[in-house]
Structure 1
Amino acid sequence: MKHAVLGFRAHFGWTALVAISLEDGFPQVLLRERPHAEARGFISGVRAEARHLAYRAIQSVLVNLQKQGYELKRCSLLLASGRPLPGLAQILASHALIHAADGEIFREALLHASKRCGVETFTAKESDLLERAVHALRLQPDEVARRLADLGHPLGFPWSQNEKFAVLVAWVSLCR
C-alpha cells in the first residue's frame, strides 16, 4: 500500500486540506478540499466558550481578591480603536478582519462576564487611552510611561505593552 500525507493550513472557520503522495520523489496531489465550519454556528460556539472562560476567570479573581480582603468594584477594558466591523461575509474574506472580529468576541465576553458577576465595567478606546490617562492622572506622558514600567519591576519579565495598557485602563477607571 502507498503512503499518503495530509497537509493543512488552518484559518478561522475553515482550513485548506491537501492529500499528497510521493511519486519518484515528487509530491502528487491526491485530494484537495476546503472543509469549513458553518460560520455562524462556529462563531456562536466560540462566543459561548469565550463567555464561559471569561466568567470563570473573573469569578476566580473575585474570590481570590476577597480572600485578600478586597472587593472587586470594576472591570476595565481597553477597546479597539478601529471602525465598526462589517458583515460576516466581508469579515470571513479578510484575514485582518478575522483577527479584529476575534478580539471583539473576547471583549464582548469579558463585558458579559463582568455583568454576570455583578461588577461594573469601564471601557476606553486604545487610541484615546494615553490622553485620558494624562488628564485623569494629571501626569505628563513620559511620567505615565515611567510609572507603568516601574510597576513591572517587582513582577519580573515579561512586562509587556499588553500588561501596561491593562494597568493603565484600570488606573484611569479608578480616577473617575
Structure 2
Amino acid sequence: MKHAVLGLRVHSGWTALVAISLEDGSPLVLLREHPHLVKTFTYELRQPYHTAGKRPPAEAPGFISGVRAEARRLAYRAIQSAQGNLHLQGYELKRCCLLLASGRPLPGLPQILASHALIHAADGELFREALLHASKRCGVETFTAKESELLERAVHALHLQPDELARRLADLGRPLGVPWSQDEKFAALVAWLSLL
C-alpha cells in the first residue's frame, strides 16, 4: 500500500485538509476537504474565547472545555474519515502535518480573556490542539511547522525559487478546481515538506 500524508491549516471552527502522496518525486493531491471543528457553525462556537470573555467568569472554563471536547470529536471524525477514504484509494495515512502559529505558550484563562490579541491566539490554538489530539488518537504520527517559516523552509528543502514554488503549488490544485486558495496550498505544502 502506498503512503499518504495530510496537511492541515486551521481557521476558526474549521480546517483546510489536503492529502497528498509523492508520485515519481512530485506531490499528487488525493483528497481536499474543509471539515468543521464545531458542530454548529456559529460565531459563538467558532470564536470560543471571544464568547467566553462575554460570559460570567465562572462559566468561561466550562464553556471552553465543552468547545474543546467537541472540536476533538469532530477532528477525530475528520481524520478517521480521511484515513478510510485514502485506504479505499490504496493509500495508508502515515502522517498528519499541521501549521502552527508562531506565538509563545499561552497564559492562564483570566490573562487570555483580558487580552484581545491572546483571545485570537487561544481560539486558533484550541482548534490546532484538537487536530493534534485526533491525529494521536488515530495512531498517526504528526509533523508541525510554523506558518511564518513555511515558505522559506520549503524553498530551501525543495531547492526551488519562490516563484517556481508558487507555480508548482498553483499547478498542484489546478485539476481539482476551486477552492484552491492559500489555505489549500499551505496545507499541501506542509504535507509535501514532511515527505522530504
TM-score with structure 1 length normalisation?
0.78
Match of 1:30 in 2: none
Whether the 8 Å CA contact 1:13–1:37 is kept in 2: the answer is no
Q: In the TM superposition, what are the counterparts of 1:1-176 in structure 2 within 5 Å?
A: 11-13=50-52, 15=54, 38-175=59-196
Work out the number of aligned pairs and report it. 149
Greater RCO structure (CA 8 Å; 6+ sep): 2
Identity %: 83
Aligned counterparts of 1:106 and 1:37: Cα–Cα separation in 2: 22
Deviates more, 1:94-103 or 1:66-75: 94-103
Can you list the C-alpha shifts for 1:66-103, whole angstroms capped at 9, x where unaligned?
Answer: 01100000000000012322321121123332221111
Deviates more, 1:133-142 or 1:70-79: 133-142
Aligned counterparts of 2:141 and 2:56: Cα–Cα separation in 1: 42
Can you list the C-alpha shifts for 1:110-163, whole angstroms capped at 9, x where unaligned?
Answer: 111101101010000011111211122111111111111112222222221111
SS in 2 for 1:164: helix
Match of 2:33 in 1: none
Aligned counterparts of 1:159 and 1:36: Cα–Cα separation in 2: 41
Structure 1 unaligned regions, length at least 5: 1-8, 16-33
Aligned counterparts of 1:128 and 1:14: Cα–Cα separation in 2: 31
Aligned counterparts of 2:128 and 2:150: Cα–Cα separation in 1: 16
SS in 2 for 1:71: strand
- Give the superposed CA RMSD: 1.9
Whether the 8 Å CA contact 1:14–1:37 is kept in 2: the answer is no
Can you list the C-alpha shifts for 1:33-90, whole angstroms capped at 9, x where unaligned?
Answer: x667711111111111111000000000001100110000000000001232232112
SS in 1 for 2:163: helix
SS in 2 for 1:73: strand
Aligned counterparts of 2:58 and 2:190: Cα–Cα separation in 1: 36
Match of 2:18 in 1: none
TM-score with structure 2 length normalisation?
0.70
Aligned counterparts of 2:117 and 2:51: Cα–Cα separation in 1: 11
Aligned counterparts of 1:169 and 1:107: Cα–Cα separation in 2: 14
Whether the 8 Å CA contact 1:75–1:121 is kept in 2: the answer is yes
Structure 2 unaligned regions, length at least 5: 1-42, 45-49
Deviates more, 1:43-52 or 1:131-140: 131-140
